[in-house]
Structures are given as C-alpha cells and as structure tokens.
Structure 1
Amino acid sequence: MASERYHRQLILEGFGATAQSKLTAAKVLVIGAGGLGCPALQYLTAAGIGLIGIADDDTVALSNLHRQILYTTNDIGKPKAKVAAQRLHTMNPEIQFVVHTLRIESINILEILKDYDVVLDGSDNFESRYLINDACALLKKPLIFAAVADYEGQLAIFNVTDEKGETTNYRDLFPIAPKPGEIANCADNGVIGVLPGIIGTMAASETIKLITGLGKPLVNKLLHYNLLNNEQHELAIIAGNDYQLPQNEADLMTFNYNQTGLTEPMVIEIDATALNNLQQKTSTLLIDVRELHEVPALDKAIYHQIPMSSFADFLSTDVEEQNLVLICQHGIRSVAAAEALAEKYGNTKNIYSLKGGIVKWRNYFSN
C-alpha cells in the first residue's frame, strides 16, 4: 500500500526506498498553519513525513481563504491546527499528526521543539521568528525559514553546517528585530494568494531535500523570489558577531521578544467603547495612520488620514487637541505612531492606540 502511494518518487533516480525511509522516520514541526504552512503541510503529508506537528493558535477567518487552501467557508471560526490535521489525515492516513493549538512562546517553545528533527517556520510576525530562531539555535535544530511580503518571498535554511563547516541563523540576516510599523506584514500590505503557495511549497521541497540528502538545500543561503517577473536569486549568508543568542533556557525565558522592545507600553491601548467616549470630547484628534489605498475608507470628516509613510512630516507640526487617538488596520502601526507622539509630547497630552485596529472592531466602523 505504502509503496503504491509513493511509487512515483520511489522510482526516481537517486531517491528510492532509502530516501523514503528517511522521510518516514522524520519528525517535522510546522509553525503556522496559514498561507505558508498550508501548502508546506500538504506536500510534506503527501511525501510521507512520518510525524508532523502543527502549531497554530489562530482560527480560520474568511479573509484567509484566498491563500490558505486547506480550509473552506464551513471552517470559519474553527481552530486552524485541528482543521488542518483532520484534512491532512484524510489525504494520508499513514501520517501521525500532533496538534499544538497554542501560541508558541518562550515558556513553552523548548518543550515543544525537543521532540522534532526539523522545524519549518511559517509564522507571520517578527516576534515569533526571532523566538523560533533563537530556540532552534539553542537546541541545534535545523530551521527552514520562509516569508512573504508584497509580491516577494524569501527562503533559507539555518542551524545546519555547510561544506565549509559554517552555521548561520536568522540573526545573521537581521540581528535586531524591527520596531512595529517599520516593516508592514501581509495583513497590512496585502498578499496575492499564490505567492505563499509558491514559497510554502518550496519550503516543503527544502525540508524534503534536507531530510533525504537530495540535491543542494539552501543551507546558509537566502533565496529571494519575485512573483511579478519570476526572478529569483541566491545570497550567501555570512555568520555575524553583532548579536548574542540565548545560551541556555534561562536566557531564552528572560529575553524580551516583544516587538516594541519595551516591557511597559508607552501608550494606552483602548477598545471601541473607549474610542467612542473619546470621540465625543471636543479636544480629541482621531488619526488613521494607514496608507491611502487601504480599505475600508473611514469618514475623513471624523478621522484625519496621516499615513505612516508621511508621519514624520506630521511629527514636525504641533496639534492643539489634548487627546490623540491612533488607528490602523490591526493595531500595530498605530502603537508605533502613538509611541512617536508620546516621545514628542511626553505627559502633556493623552495618547491612545486602538487595540486590534479596524479589523477587530469592524462592526464599529461599519455603522
């Protein structure tokens, strides 16, 4: 039965029963069952990875479906990791699935990672990427890194020694995490559905190559892919010395992976009720920091649109209002903008950010 299922790869020159047995014995953890994770999970399952872990604490949303093709409209509101495991099991019942319906954090990551041979990072935020990288480096776990932004994708393999005896990690590319709002994610900038499909499938391919020893995996190399013109190129990753990795579990537990780099927020995050109360006050300025093309468009008579791309110009001016409320799509860029205002005005003004942004309170803005 198994030989028939995998027949087309078993008969490949250079693959055969030896490579298939390596896949069967492998334990792979996929973190993030979203746009990148879905295609990676499908092809890893189809290829015959013996045990696959799926880690995701999110639920299926309608806006996911154009790229997260494991899910259907009937799955909206259900846990992604559970739905993915159920659907993948029907695809290949020979595979063992382990579901982690939780957020990967410093308090649990080492315990989760220890049982896997390879980790595939399909997360969508920098906080998770740095945490996953540091934990994999500490445990010496091979890490497949995949990411998409706009019309471009990136792929690399970390924590594997190359033919020169060198090993690199994500911090050799980006030693320090960017601040909120500096680099927008696909939730803010958008993404065409096929792009994470392409990069996620390539991530599965690199995972299979790494496990079986086929070809030349992207060890210490960054592959950059442009969807618009189909250009791709590789960059060599060189080990750096301008950062420090956690040396033990205690280091990892005490390291601050908050994207703001702060233990306490500089601004107050509010909900829609508090926003409504502030809106009734005459001395309140409501600021939408999204770019001009983003939807839904808000009433410009109520919300002043000052995009992050031109926010520096706004900072050079002074405002009279006592209460300043920053709003964006997901409540990330608004925090960054609010912090910039707090740095300028200190305690002389009340500065707020709408927590969760327009997406979380869409009903409020649709009234």
Structure 2
Amino acid sequence: MGSSLPLVDREGTDPGGRGLGGHGSGQDAHERRERHSRHLALPGIGMGGQSRIDQARVLVIGAGGLGSPVLQYLAAAGIGTLGIVDDDAVDLSNLQRQTIHGTPDVGRPKTASAADSVRRTDPGIEVVEHAERLTNDNALRILGGYDVVVDATDNFATRYLISDAAALVGVPCVWGSVYRWDAQVTVFWDAAPDGRGIDYRDVFPEPPADGAVLSCEEAGVFGAVCGTVGALMATEVIKLVTGAGTPLLGRVVVLDALAGTSRTIGVKRAKGRQRVTALADYDLFCGVGAATDGTELDAEEVEGILASDEQVVLLDVREPDERLVDSIPGHVAVPVRIVTVDPGAVPGAITDRVIVYCASGVRSRAAAVALREAGRDAVSLRGGIQSWRSVAGRA
C-alpha cells in the first residue's frame, strides 16, 4: 500500500470511526483514553493523532538490539498492528542489548518472545509474527501489508533488500544502525512528498567489501546505544503516522555516544540514480556468500578433519577477552592483528594445515589470506565459532 503524510486521514478526531476503543482486546474507550492520556494532552498528537496511531500498521524487521526498543515504544504508544520479522532464536549473548527478551526466553524464537512482550504491554495490539528470513520471494508480500517499515537489521544485503522493497511498495522505511559507540538514523521514502525522498542507495551507493565491516559479535556494541537509537527510530514512526513534527527525510542523524555528540547531515538523491523497478540479487551485489576457492571450510568439514589423524594447527585469531567466553579445544591463540603483520608468529611446520577461526568468519578469512601469502596451507572456518556451536554443541 502506498503512503502519504500522515499515513491516515488527518481530518477530524476519529479518522476510522473507532475512537480510542478500537483495539481488539475488549478495552473500552475510557480505558484507552486513560492509557494514552499523556499523548492526548500532547500538542501535535491529541485525540486525532492517537486514533491514527491506533489504526497504523507498522512492520519491524529484526527483533534484536534496535528492534527491541522500537517494538517496546511502539507497543506503549498503542500502534494498532505490529508485524515482527525475524528468523533467529534468543541467545544468552543477546540479552546485553536486546531488552525485549529475558533470560526465560533463551532458545525461543525472537518473534514469539517479542510478541509476548508487546501483548504484555498492550493486549489490544494485533501482533503478526513473521518467523522467517526476509527474502526476494516474500519481501513484497510482507511489506505490502503495512504503512511504515522499520529496518532494524544488521547486514548490508538485507538493508538493500528492505529499501528496494519499500520503494516498490511505496511505504516509508525508518532505518537505524549501530556500530560500537556510533549510530545513524534516517527515514527512507522514495516517493516522499516535496521531492525529499531518498533511499538506502543515496547514503550507501555501494556496499563495503565483504568482511570490511565487522559484525556486532566481532566489533562489540554498547547496549545502551541501541536503546537511544531505537527510541529515536520509534519517534520517527510516530511522526510519520501522525504527521507531527518534521520527519528525518533527506537528513541523517549521526550519534557518537562515547563523545556525547550528535550532528545532522543532509542527503539528496544521487544524481542519475534510477528509481527501483525490481528486486535484485543482494547477496551477489554485496559480495556475500561462501568462498569458492577452497579457502573456507564449513563446521562439519572442520569437525571431520579434527577427528582424523591429519596434522593441523587450529588457530584462534580472536582477542583474549573473547576467548574467555568459549573456544574450540586444542587451539593455539594468535590475534589477527599479529597474524596479518607477522604470519611467522603462527606455530607449526610449514607443511601443517592451519584451520583459522574467529567469532563469525571475518577476521579468520583475513588471517588465512595472510598465511597463504606466506606459504602456509591455511583455511578459514566459515561462520566462525557461531557455526561450530551449531555442529559440535557449545564449545
């Protein structure tokens, strides 16, 4: 469904004829008014704005560090329908920043855990669980049922997919990103009024080289920054739904939490950029995928080699603090920052195969390349220790 600002009729105080008793939980109008009394008293929202919030359909893609606060604040605001897309399960390491989940949720699907939290906040909200990975095959179908999309994902291929799908469907996309202490937030809307529309390609015309940007597990992330950014993203959703204020169209907020500073950067549509007409192969575009040159092995292959009589060096290139969490038995440890400068620091005979691993496979690929250039027979564990856990149990 295409959208315009605001996303529902602004005329009158009851656009849908439902007042504030329209949620399906049996809540009457008095209970809804009491629940949202602070919104009703707020200039720019009031009764009409809250009615629009009640009717809005918002899709949050990713129920992790950013998706958690977005979902929590949108649920508290009373968004009528919240869709949640995620194909992952809650892991203990998620709880440092993914506040919508708790210790009892470890092992549960993130969509189910997040949906339960939303319903506890407001039983009247309709929650739609999309417990699947967003792909070219389902993106248009899923996004087409919502007024606003929130991109709370953490990889470039999916971000390009979401941006293009939102452009094709004609809905705005609130986007946020966190890296260590830094963050960015903006609103992509290819068909925004007044020519203010930009999309993800205007900010990132080309993706970084595969492995150039570390994952959250590789780089670390300060959990509270996710809360700050997620709250700002939820604010942008409410502004789009109600028409209050000025949304971040054509502007990117850049936050440095460590320095305690923020700034806003203006962004215009890239010259010559054509409008999106079809979805693409985003994994190919972003250079994502398994190596085909024999420099990577999957966890099952590594497990078989380690169980054989082959002479190998199992090399952990993570930092010392990371190895305190878990490791693969029998490893030797040399951080990647040393391996790439001095491959000779890795023990073993020149004829020994070196199997390199890290958290997710990014640093180990770099280390394996350095070792191969130095004449060693080195391969990287595809997916890092994350993939090893799924095959061999917790290390």
TM-score, normalising length: structure 2? 0.80
Q: Decide whether aligned partners of structure 1 residues 279 and 175 sit closer, same or farther in structure 2, where only a CA change above 3 A counts.
A: farther
Structure 1 distance, partners of 2:113, 2:181, is: 28
Distance of 2:334 and 2:327 partners within structure 1: 9
Equivalent of 1:58 in 71, 81, 88: 88
Quick one: structure 1 residues 289 and 175, their matched pair in 2 at CA, closer, same or farther if it must change by over 3 Å?
Answer: farther
Q: Does 1:329 align with 2:356?
A: no
Please give the alpha-carbon distance, in whole angstroms, between the structure 1 residues aligned to 2:103 and 2:159.
29
CA shift, 1:164, in A, is: 4.8
**Structure 1 residue 270 and structure 2 residue 298: aligned?**
yes
The answer as to whether partners of 1:284 and 1:321 remain within 8 angstroms in 2 is: no
The CA distance in 2 between the partners of 1:163 and 1:11, in whole Å, is 29
Indicate whether 1:147 and 2:177 are aligned: yes
Q: Is the 8 A contact 2:91 2:106 kept in 1?
A: yes
Q: In the alignment, is residue 305 of structure 1 matched against residue 334 of structure 2?
A: yes
Matched to 2:126, the amino acid is Q
**Kindly tell me: are residues 231 and 71 of structure 1, through their superposed partners in 2, closer, same or farther at Cα, counting changes over 3 Å?**
same
* Alpha-carbon separation, structure 1, partners of 2:245 and 2:136: 34
Q: Is the deviation greater in 22-31 or in 133-142?
A: 133-142
- 1:322 to partner: Cα distance: 5.8
| Deviation larger for 314-323 or 206-215 | 314-323
Match of 1:18 among 48, 52, 55: 48
**Structure 1 residue 232: Cα displacement:** 0.8
Answer yes or no: is 1:289 the counterpart of 2:280. Answer: no
CA contact (8 A) 1:306 1:314 kept: no
Post-superposition offset of 1:135: 1.4
2:230 is paired with a residue whose SS is: helix
Partner of 1:358: 385
**Equivalent of 2:162, from 122, 132, 136?**
132
Q: Which moved more, 1:328-337 or 1:104-113?
A: 328-337
Q: Do residues 80 (structure 1) and 110 (structure 2) align? A: yes
Range with bigger deviation, 271-280 or 198-207: 271-280
CA contact (8 A) 2:339 2:371 kept: no
1:1-367, aligned counterparts within 5 Å?
1-159=31-189, 164-241=194-271, 246-248=276-278, 251-252=279-280, 254-257=281-284, 259-261=286-288, 265-266=292-293, 267-271=295-299, 274-275=302-303, 277-278=305-306, 284-291=312-319, 294-296=322-324, 302-307=331-336, 309=337, 312-313=340-341, 320-321=350-351, 323-335=353-365, 337-338=367-368, 351-361=378-388
Identity %: 35
Work out whether residues 161 and 219 of structure 1, in 8 Å CA contact, stay in contact via their aligned partners in 2: no
1:153 aligned counterpart, secondary structure: strand
- Aligned-partner Cα distance in 1 for 2:231–2:216: 18
The alpha-carbon distance between structure 1 residues 331 and 312, as it changes in their structure 2 partners (threshold 3 A), is closer
Equivalent pair of 1:270/1:352 in contact (CA under 8 Å): no
Is the Cα–Cα contact under 8 Å of residues 179 and 336 in structure 1 kept in the other structure?
no
CA distance in 2, matches of 1:282, 1:306: 24
Task: Name the residue aligned to 2:12.
Answer: none
Asked if the contact 1:31–1:56 (Cα under 8 Å) also holds between the matched residues in 2, the reply is yes
- Amino acid in structure 2 at the alignment position of 1:326: V
Residue 65 of structure 2 aligns to a residue in which SS?
A: coil
Separation in 1, partners of 2:136, 2:342: 37
Gaps of 5+ in 2: 1-30
Per mean C-alpha deviation after superposition, the further-off stretch among 115-124 and 288-297 is: 288-297
Contact 2:183 2:256 in 1 (8 A): yes
Distance change (3 Å), C-alpha of 1:163 and 1:57:
closer
**Which structure's CA Rg is the greater one?**
2
- How many Å apart are 1:206 and its aligned residue? 0.8
Tell me the distance in 1 between the aligned counterparts of 2:273 and 2:296: 31
How far off its partner does 1:87 sit? 2.0
Q: Secondary structure at the match of 2:137?
A: coil
- Greater shift, 284-293 or 109-118, is seen at 284-293
Per the TM alignment, residue 130 of structure 1 is displaced from its structure 2 partner at its CA by: 1.5
Do 1:133 and 1:143's aligned partners in 2 also have CA atoms closer than 8 Å?
A: yes
- More off after superposition, 172-181 vs 275-284: 275-284
- Structure 2 CA distance for partners of 1:279 and 1:286, relative to 1, 3 Å: farther
CA gap of 1:75–1:304, structure 2 versus 1, over 3 A, is: closer
Alpha-carbon contact 1:43-1:204 (below 8 Å) kept: yes
Task: Give the CA deviation at 1:256.
Answer: 3.9
Shifted more, 329-338 versus 182-191: the winner is 329-338
The CA RMSD measured in Å over matched residues stands at 3.2
Helix, strand or coil at the partner of 1:182: coil
**SS of residue in 1 equivalent to 2:64:** coil
Q: Would the alpha carbon gap of residues 36 and 94 (structure 1) be closer, same or farther in structure 2, given more than 3 Å must change?
A: same
Report deviation, 1:350.
Answer: 5.5
Query: Partner letter of residue 245 of structure 2?
Result: G
Shift of 1:198: 1.0
Q: Relative to structure 1, is the Cα distance of residues 271 and 300 closer, same or farther in structure 2, using a 3 angstrom cutoff?
A: closer
CA-CA distance at 1:125 after TM superposition: 1.5
Q: For residues 311 and 83 of structure 1, do their structure 2 counterparts lie closer, same or farther at Cα, with a shift above 3 Å needed?
A: same
- The letter for the 2-side match of 1:117 is D
Q: Contact 1:284/1:324 (CA < 8 Å) preserved in 2?
A: yes
